[in-house]
Amino acid sequence: MSDTLIWVAGITQAITAVVAVAALGVSIYGLYLQRRDKSPRLQVRGSLSSLMDHDMSVVEYVYMITVANQSTDPVTVTQLYIWDKPDWKQVVLNLRGERPLPCELGSWQSASWWVNYEGLRETLRRNGHRGKLRVKLEATDASGGSHFARTQIILNAPWWRRIFGQRS
């Protein structure tokens, strides 16, 4: 056999090996994406908000926790928690919301629950916190998974009291 044919055969085998490894990598990545889409993935967000009546008057200032299902299968949200830092004590409050817990969220659906902001603020202050506090918002699903987000809550006088000159 000539040297040229041996060289061409070697290059052909190398190209075949590279293509086979690339195909294996693509198939493993495809399996990962398929499995990821099937496993529960919840996005948790928290924000200060207000509830208004039909006249657009503020009825209550609330801390809103929104949970969104980012997977292709339905996920049941079983419980919501607010944890304070640095001791990570669980803050138990009276949650109200669009739906009662446990709540099933379909693919790409979301739901919101809220607590009275003043009540949350006072509970955290009673736990010895002041100023800006890092908290963890957690949602648990029916499979036992934990989904969380870290955020800050300001415990000083709320913004609406500072604007209107009331202090507390």
The domain limits of the chain are 1-38, 40-163
Tokens 């934990």 identify what position?
146
Q: How far is CA 17 from CA 7, 12, 26, 35, in A?
A: 15, 9, 14, 27
- Token pair 């944890």 in the structure block, residue: 83
CATH superfamily, region 40-163: Immunoglobulins (2.60.40.10)
What is the per-residue pLDDT for 163?
Answer: 65
Strand boundaries in the chain, DSSP class E: 42-52, 58-69, 75-84, 89-91, 96-97, 103-105, 110-116, 132-141, 146-154
pLDDT recorded at residue 111: 95
Amino acid 164: pLDDT: 64
Distance CA 55, CA 2 (A): 91
* pTM of the predicted protein model: 0.69
Please give the pLDDT value at position 42.
Answer: 93
Tens-of-pLDDT digits for all 168 residues of the chain?
677 777 888 889 999 999 999 999 999 888 887 766 567 889 999 999 999 998 988 889 999 999 999 988 899 999 998 888 766 667 666 889 989 989 999 988 999 999 999 888 888 888 888 888 888 999 999 888 889 899 988 887 655 665 665 544
CB of 114 within 8 A of CB of 76? no
